Amino acid sequence: MTQLLETRRRRTFAIISHPDAGKTTLTEKLLLFGGAIQMAGSVKSRKAARHATSDWMALEKERGISVTSSVMQFPYEDRVINLLDTPGHADFSEDTYRVLTAVDSALMVIDCAKGVEERTIKLMEVCRLRDTPIITFINKLDREGRSPIELLDEVESVLGIQCAPVTWPIGMGSRLKGVYHLLTNEVHLYEPGRNFTRQDSTIFTGLDHPELRRRLGDMYDELREELELVLGASNPFDRDAYLAGKQTPVFFGSAVNNFGVQPLLDAFVENAPGPLARATTSRVISPDETKLTGFVFKIQANMDPMHRDRVAFMRICSGKFTAGMKAFHVRTRKEMKLANALTFMASDRELVETAWPGDVIGIHNHGTISIGDTFTEGENLSFTGIPNFAPELFRRARLRDPLKIKQLQKGLAQLSEEGATQFFRPLMSNDLILGAVGVLQFDVVAYRLKDEYGVDCLFETIGVVTARWVHGEDEKKLAEFREKNASFLSLDAAGELVYLAPTRVNLQLAIERAPAIRFAATREHA
C-alpha cells in the first residue's frame, strides 16, 4: 500500500532546452516553489561552489559550459519531484540522451525571442523515440519576442507536435501585464519582484472584474478579442494526447521574474505521468511490483575529489530500496550490497534510507558498475533502450612519457565508464583510441588525465570515420570475419568487438561482403 502511494506521488522529469533559454533559472524557481531552497541564486552559487571544489570543472567554467548533470529531489504539495539535470553543451549530448531514458516526462523551455533552436530539435527527436510526454514553457516574456501564435506555429511545424496553450500572455516585453489561464479562467498579473507564491501574486478569476479592467487599461479589449480568437482556433488541452506524446500543453512566463512558473508547476504535478512501466530483455516491469529493479543511466566521477569517488546513478523502476540492502548485479551475476546510497536533495547529497520507483539513488562505484547495468532482487533480466552511440570523432592517445602507459590505460578505461567518451583497443596494434561525439571531450579527457592520473598525453587524429558494433549469430562466420578484418577491429572498454571504419565506402563494402554479420550503430547495454 505504501509503495502504491509513494509511487503515485513521484514525478521524474528533465528539462530540455537550447543553451541560454533559461533552464538553470527555471530549475532554480522550481526549487524555490518546492521550498527546497530559500533564496534565488542558490543554484548558481551551488554551481560556483562545485567548481571551486573540483579542478577539472574549472575547465567547464572557462568554456562556459556545464558538463556535470545532477539529480534534485524536492517536495511540492503532496508530490515528490525528481528533476534530472541535463548538460546543455552539444558535445555532451550522449549523456543527455541517457538521462532522458531515465525520466517519465520532460519540460521544454523555449526563448520567446529565439523560438525553436537547434538543440531543442535534437532533444525533441530523442523524446520522440519513447513518446515522452512534454510540457512547453515559453520563457523571457519580459523581453520583446515573437508573437505567441507564431511561436506555437513554429513548435507545431518544426517539432511536429500539436500545441495546446494553457496560459496565454497579456502583452510582452515592456507591455507585459500578465497571463490568462485558459483552463482555470484566471488572470495572473505580472508584478516584477513578486510572484513567489500564490499569496503574493494578484490573481483575478474571470475577466469581468472592474479592477482587472483598470489594471489592464487599453489592453483589456485587445485581450478579449485575442482570447476569442485563440479559444476558437487552438486545440484544447487533451491529457491523453499529452501522455501519448502527441500534444504539448504550452505555458508562457518569465523564469527570472518567477512569473508564470507556478501555473506551470501546478499543471505539471497534476498531469505529468508518475513512474511508468518499462521494458526489459524478458518482460515489462510495472512500478507496482514489490521487488526492487533499477538501471544505471549515468556515472559521474570525482564528485568529491578528496575521495576519488565515482557515483553510479540508478533509476528505480519497481519495488522499494532500503539502505544497506543487497541487490543482484545482473551483468556480473553477483550480489552487491548497496551501502551508503545517496539521494540528491536539492540542498545537498544525503544518505538515503528508503527510495521508491521514480527516485534516483547514487551508488558508490569502484569500477564494477557500468552505464546500462540492471539491478534486481535475483531475477535475470536487463532494462533495454539505454544506448551507447557510435562516436563520430576518433583520436589516438600519444604519451609524452611512455612509462605511464599503465596509468593511461586505467585513466582512459575509467573515464570512458562515465559514458561521454569511448575507448577502443585495436586487435592488431597497441594503440589506444578514444572516440567521442564532440571535440571538446578530447580536451576534457586530456585535462583530467593530467589532473587525476598524472598522465601527460596528446590526442592525434587518425583515419577512422565511424564505428559499428559487430554481432553474428553464427560463431564460425563471426570467427572468419574477425580473422579477415582483424586490422579494422578493436575491442571496446567492455570487451565487445567493434569495426572502426577508415571511410564510409570501406564500411559499406565490409557490410556487403559479410551478410551474416550485423553492424550496429549503437551498443545497447545488455
> Per the annotation, where are the binding residues for GTP?
17-24, 85-89, 139-142
Q: What is the CA radius of gyration of the chain?
A: 25
Q: Using CB under 6 A, which of 139, 302, 374, 466 touches ligand G4P?
A: 139
23 contributes a contact to ligand G4P by CB under 6 A: yes
CB 267 within 8 A of CB 166: yes
CB 298 within 8 A of CB 313: yes
CB nearer to ligand G4P: pick between 256 and 381:
256
22 contributes a contact to ligand G4P by CB under 6 A: yes
Query: β-pairing, 105-111 with 10-17?
Result: parallel
Helices assigned H by DSSP within 14-72:
23-33, 42-53, 56-63
CA dihedral sign of residues 188, 193, 195, 199:
negative
- Per-residue mark of binding to ligand G4P, 203-242 (x: CB under 6 A): ----------------------------------------
Question: Counting Cβ atoms within 10 Å, is residue 218 exposed (0-12), middle (13-18) or buried (19+)?
Answer: exposed
Q: Using CB under 6 A, which of 7, 12, 17, 343 touches ligand G4P?
A: 17
Shortest reach from residue 57's CB to ligand G4P, in Å: 16
Rounded Cα distance between 81 and 30, Å, is: 10
Shortest reach from residue 313's CB to ligand G4P, in Å: 20
CB nearer to ligand G4P: pick between 41 and 367:
41
- Per-residue mark of binding to ligand G4P, 50-89 (x: CB under 6 A): --------------------------------------x-
315 contributes a contact to ligand G4P by CB under 6 A: no
3-state percent breakdown (helix, strand, coil) of the chain, nearest 5: 35, 30, 35
Shortest reach from residue 188's CB to ligand G4P, in Å: 15
CA dihedral sign of residues 357, 363, 369, 371:
positive
CB nearer to ligand G4P: pick between 22 and 411:
22
CB nearer to ligand G4P: pick between 45 and 332:
45
3-class DSSP state of 427: coil
Helix H or strand E segment including 73: strand 71-76
Q: Using CB under 6 A, which of 95, 142, 186, 359 touches ligand G4P?
A: 142
CB 460 within 8 A of CB 395: yes
Output DSSP code: residue 38: S
25 contributes a contact to ligand G4P by CB under 6 A: yes
CB nearer to ligand G4P: pick between 140 and 278:
140
- Per-residue mark of binding to ligand G4P, 242-281 (x: CB under 6 A): ------------xxxx------------------------
Helices assigned H by DSSP within 337-474:
405-417, 440-453
385 contributes a contact to ligand G4P by CB under 6 A: no
21 contributes a contact to ligand G4P by CB under 6 A: yes
171 contributes a contact to ligand G4P by CB under 6 A: no
Q: Using CB under 6 A, which of 47, 143, 326, 518 touches ligand G4P?
A: 143
Rounded Cα distance between 401 and 419, Å, is: 26
User: With the CA atoms of 18, 19, 24 and 26 taken in that order, what torsion angle do they form, in degrees rounded to the nearest 10?
Assistant: -40
Written in H, E and C, the secondary structure of 150-194 is: HHHHHHHHHHCCEEEECEEEECCHHHCCEEEECCCCEEEECCCCC
20 contributes a contact to ligand G4P by CB under 6 A: yes
Residues 6+ apart with CB under 8 A from 496: 469, 523
**Residue span binding ligand G4P (CB under 6 A) among the ranges 22-30, 187-195, 403-411, 452-460:** 22-30
Q: Measure the N-to-C terminal CA separation of the chain; round to a whole number of Å.
A: 32
CB nearer to ligand G4P: pick between 9 and 18:
18
Q: Which residues are annotated as a binding site?
A: 17-24, 85-89, 139-142
Shortest reach from residue 173's CB to ligand G4P, in Å: 9
Contacting residues toward ligand G4P, per CB under 6 A: 17, 19-25, 88, 139-140, 142-143, 254-257
